[in-house]
Structure 1
Amino acid sequence: MPMRPAEQQWLLLEAAADATLVVGRDGLINRANRRTAEILGWQPAELIGQSVEVLVPPASRTAHSSFRKAFVASPRPRMMGAGLELTAIHRDGHEVPVEISLNPLVTEEGEFVVVAVRDISYRLHIVSQLNETAAKLAVVDERDRIARDLHDNIIQRLFAAGLHLQASLGRPDQDPQLVGVIDEIDEAITQIRTIIFTMHSLRGMDAGFEPAVRLVLAESSRVLGHHPSLIQHGVLALVPDSLASEATDVIRELLTNVAKHARATHSSVNISVEDNWLTVTVSDNGVGPDRETTPAGLGLGNLSQRANGYGGRFSFDAGEAGGSMAVWAVPLA
């Protein structure tokens, strides 16, 4: 026996990828396909005979009833609430972000409205991620602009001022004062360069922990006179982003300390992720600390505070084969 047209139409609705309802002119649900259970948590049999407003958030039910009656009076295929953020009520009470299309349906049983409900949760999640990425890129671009301005304008002007002052050296009554000013300018240039390196390193963090560390090593080689080696143990991807950023700053500071005090021709950075701990070890073959040298005396006291803040530890000692060895270790969680 051939199927009646109404049965054929229903088979098509049952095969739809969206949650699909057939609603009468009175607003009561006449049919619901199996996707309704998957998307909204309602078994089809539970919805039959109920008002379609059961799927509408309580605050919108009165307005929805009026809109529904207006649609029944002049039915035509259209999207519901175009441009608005719509939600449907899941059976457990939470709201599901949806798109809804309305289509009039005339059968031998009467006039109905086919309501297709599409879950757009994943799409909104992707849009949110894209917006977040765009915001991060905007911040990174702004940092790059500031870094360029510092390098191209401020540092060059400081260099020019320093050269001008150096050219003025020669008068015995001015030399001590001018030398002090020149030293201050050199220190300011060093600090600005550090800021620039930090800004570029923040861009590197977007690519991951290891690329950010390699960027710091490349930048530090300019003041060290050599390129530090990098040794890795474990999976660096296990390190949370915030901790990876902190560790990158620690590596930068330790290498800066090597450049200032060690007079080393070789240095290495060892990063280990083992037993739920992150350990950063920076070693060099320089002069090494004397017995009275303390981390605070080398400007490294804040590294102990940083480690303590994570429940970790920091040590600075002579290396086993000479030079110095700094160890910064913190738990991953």
Structure 2
Amino acid sequence: MSCTTLSSLSRTTVITDAHDNELISAIISAAPDGLVVVDREGRIVLVNPQVERMLGYGADELLGEKVELLVPDSLRVEHERDRTRYVANPSLRPMTSGLDLTARHKDGSQIPVEISLSPLVTAQSLYTIASVRDITDRLETEQALRDAHEAVQLAEERERIARDLHDTVIQHLFATGMSLQAIASGIDDDKARERLTMAVDDLDETIRQVRTAIFGLRNRDNVGESIKSAVIELIESSGRMLGFRPELSMDGPIDTRVSPAMGEHLLPTLHEALSNVSRHARAHRARVGITVNGDLVLSVSDDGIGLEQDPDLSSPGWRETRRDGGGLQNMAARAKELGGCLIVGPGLDGAGTCVTWRVPLKGAHRQP
């Protein structure tokens, strides 16, 4: 039988007969990692098929060559010094992920690797077995995990900013706008009322821009603010100014069929309609309905005093008799921009006003 022993002191393998050489060669060929055996002078005496596949060389191209052939050019001198020191004091060096090691491919590229070293002592000489493992896939997986973690952190930060904008900034702007609208409705001075109305319009535009920023923050990571949630929050906010909570019904796949871009028209239109109810209708009830089928339809009805004349929204010079700073025209313009229309009719129980804003979900286009 062959006699292979492992010295407990030097941790080196000792080969005592020819059969051991055959056994070691078979083991090297079957090993899952690349194995390179070099002699005391650093010349390659044996490689396994895994090295050939990993580094692109054939065995005949490597045998007899210095092992530095497999080392990046910039590290060859340093590697030769390290190899000389290792031969003077050989010992087992396990694979360590803390070392940043690379092997040189035949095409000149560098491959990240882990390498373990083990001395092999025969009756004639000292050899070193280098076990080489390509860790490219592992590093890519680790980087992907780091990227995913950073993406989650970034998404959480965006969500926090979006939530702060929505829960604080928008709510304060909305409440301020409603208060100014209430004040403007009781002022007889036309110039002062007009200035307040302009200030409210500016606040509405600011709210629209902040909502656009919120959608941008959330949709960047496919999180997306729920249209339904935004509508409910808008209803709750308006209820504090109206003195009552409007009734709300929603039907159809609103969150999946209504795009964020269309939502940026829907929400300001709803805000405008509820503002009109608060400022002018003297209503005790209001009902909001949103349906999604072939079209997106928003209706806002109240039981207030209604309009004193039927609006002709197609007329550029038309102004509502009730003071609202052109609110219906603003809503009509948004509908037209999306290829839709605005219809005004009687409200709840035949009293008040019903505003219906209808836009197509498919084939929406911008009007000139």
State if a TM-score over 0.5 links the two structures. Answer: yes
Report what 2:363 is aligned to.
327
After TM superposition, the structure 1 stretch with the greater mean CA deviation from structure 2, 2-11 or 88-97, is: 2-11
| Deviation digits for residues 74-96 of structure 1 (CA, Å, limit 9, x no counterpart) | 11111578634222122233221
Report what 1:52 is aligned to.
67
Supply the distance in 2 between the matched residues of 1:323 and 1:151 (Cα, whole angstroms).
Answer: 26
Report whether the alignment pairs 1:266 with 2:274.
no
What secondary structure is seen at the aligned counterpart in 2 of 1:78?
coil
Check conservation: 1:217, 1:227, Cα contact below 8 A. Answer: no
Report whether the alignment pairs 1:192 with 2:210.
yes
Report what 1:112 is aligned to.
127
Supply the distance in 2 between the matched residues of 1:323 and 1:166 (Cα, whole angstroms).
Answer: 26
- Cα offset for 1:44? 2.5
- Cα offset for 1:43? 2.4
Report what 1:312 is aligned to.
none
What secondary structure is seen at the aligned counterpart in 2 of 1:93?
coil
Supply the distance in 2 between the matched residues of 1:89 and 1:191 (Cα, whole angstroms).
Answer: 55
Alignment of 1:24-35 (within 5 A): 24-35=39-50
Report what 1:172 is aligned to.
188
What secondary structure is seen at the aligned counterpart in 1 of 2:154?
helix
What secondary structure is seen at the aligned counterpart in 2 of 1:150?
helix
Report what 2:307 is aligned to.
none
Q: 1:162 to 1:258 in 2, by over 3 A?
A: closer
Within the candidate set 73, 77, 82, 1:62 is matched to 77
The amino acid that maps onto 1:123 is R
- Cα offset for 1:131? 1.9
Supply the distance in 1 between the matched residues of 2:37 and 2:364 (Cα, whole angstroms).
Answer: 65
Q: Give the root-mean-square deviation of aligned CA atoms.
A: 4.1
Within the candidate set 276, 283, 307, 2:295 is matched to 283
- Cα offset for 1:61? 1.0
Report what 1:73 is aligned to.
88
Rg bigger for which structure?
2
What secondary structure is seen at the aligned counterpart in 2 of 1:226?
strand
What secondary structure is seen at the aligned counterpart in 2 of 1:117?
strand
What secondary structure is seen at the aligned counterpart in 2 of 1:182?
helix
Report what 1:201 is aligned to.
219
Report what 2:54 is aligned to.
39
Structure 1 unaligned runs (5+)? 206-211, 233-247, 269-281, 302-314
- Cα offset for 1:46? 2.7
Check conservation: 2:44, 2:65, Cα contact below 8 A. Answer: yes
- TM (norm. structure 2) is 0.61
Check conservation: 2:40, 2:125, Cα contact below 8 A. Answer: no
Within the candidate set 239, 243, 250, 1:226 is matched to 250
What secondary structure is seen at the aligned counterpart in 1 of 2:221?
helix
